[in-house]
Amino acid sequence: VDVGGATVGQIGPGLLVLLAVEPDDTAADAEKLVDRVLRYRVFEDPAGRMNLSLLDTGGGLLLVPQFTLAADTGKGLRPSFTGAAPPELGRQLFGHAASHAGRQIGERLALGQFGAHMQVSLTNDGPVTFWLRAAATT
């Protein structure tokens, strides 16, 4: 992740998580989502099956705030961002999610920068992409 020409977050093999916060999200939701991401079995085991988690592989986690994922695109030709949390709540819960992840994986965590214009580069090895929601973890 680059901001203003400088790299602010970078990992090797692991997961890139684009994190959106919605108005009704809570700190508990953020923790549930992080726990699920860290334990979600999306990496291949020796038999070639998706059976290993980030915790199993020791990979990195690049956590990037991305409020546009909460956009309502259901009608018209322009997205509405009313589904995204207000910036202060988004900043608070992104920080909470980052702290929770950091307590579990330490230096393997890298972050994007909240509120910044970021250039995010990804080498998608698969491609394997999933949409996880905190509500689905209960």
Catalytic positions, written as ranges? 66-68
> What does the alpha-carbon distance between residue 80 and residue 126 come to, in Å, rounded to a whole number?
31
> What does the alpha-carbon distance between residue 55 and residue 11 come to, in Å, rounded to a whole number?
15
Polymer length of the chain:
138
**Token pair in block for residue 4:** 């203003």
The H-assigned helical ranges of the chain are 27-39, 54-57, 87-105
